[in-house]
A and B are shown apart, each in its own frame.
Chain A
């Protein structure tokens, strides 16, 4: 029982079907959701960088301006927001560092640096830099 031919079909010229990509294409898998979150954290990184610049600028404006900024920063809502910010920055950093062994192939002569060493090395550098910054703060305070 032959079915009637489709209106959009021309002999020897079938219409291909292209699946439309939904705007929420990324909710279909855990790895895509994680990817989108990771990418979104870059906005938070941009905000943190901006915040740092604002602090520097405030210092430049004098003690009064700086005191007003610190006042704002101590507001409970702002503190809560910045704790969330810290979490996103940590997420951003950890996902970035975890990808380094896949992206970075280092050679010393013919010897290829093992992935584990690349991974540990990056975390070690991060840890050291963080400690240095913490020490600077403690030192100043």
Chain B
């Protein structure tokens, strides 16, 4: 069995001021993910290691961490792909570190709520009348943006969010777009009010790394630039044709 050195960031706020690295020599097999290595450390070597994980199949979004400086889902990253050691594992960038590899993601939860990620309609269709008709093409319009698993790798990759934590961030804006582009939704205006502020879409300078690291190919960068074009067209419309209902 092979083994690899895994360098893990530890932070114990009760007994330490600053985080520090600890190295573990972990055996692994060719089908092990980085998460398997971390589980091995906790189960067999050091039970005090804290981190989040759940589904181990890349759909719950819990296990995002920085591995060798890149934000990845540890349940979807083979150990063999990050060799040679030492493999450096750190908590997701951009968020405060609570303990070891656990970060505080409440900022994202607040921002998610701000963009009103639900169907907004002037009038609800009664259930007795059945479903809102939505063709497969209309579904395709927003489908990509609905695939976000809230793993926040995009926030870890975004230098704007790191430099200015007020920035609403890629996933929140992509989820706003998911509803804007849903043919059943009528809340575009309401969300535009939220996202056209300085900490909304205009904070983005199209670095583009968010779309590169996204494990579900949501393309938040594309969603944000499209939103900027939309917002600009909106502004011109309201300036040149103020009588027109938005």
Contacts and interface: CB of A to CB of B under 8 A. Distances in A.
Interface of A: 3-9, 14-19, 21, 25-26, 28-29, 31-32, 35, 39, 99, 102-105, 110
A17 B212 contact: no
Is chain A's interface secondary structure helix, strand, loop, or mixed overall? loop
Interface in B201-246: 205-209, 211-212, 219, 221-222, 225-226, 228-229
A20 B105 CA distance: 18
A99 B206 contact: yes
Interface of B: 11, 13-19, 69, 93, 96-99, 104, 137, 159, 162-163, 205-209, 211-212, 219, 221-222, 225-226, 228-229
A31 B229 CA distance: 24
Contact of A5 (B14, B97, B221): B14
Contact of B96 (A7, A8, A16, A104): A16
Contacts, number: 77
6 contacts: A9-B14, A14-B98, A15-B13, A21-B163, A99-B206, A105-B226
Given A19-B93, A31-B207, A103-B226, A26 B159 contact: yes
B207 A14 contact: no
A99 B96 CA distance: 32
A17 B19 contact: yes
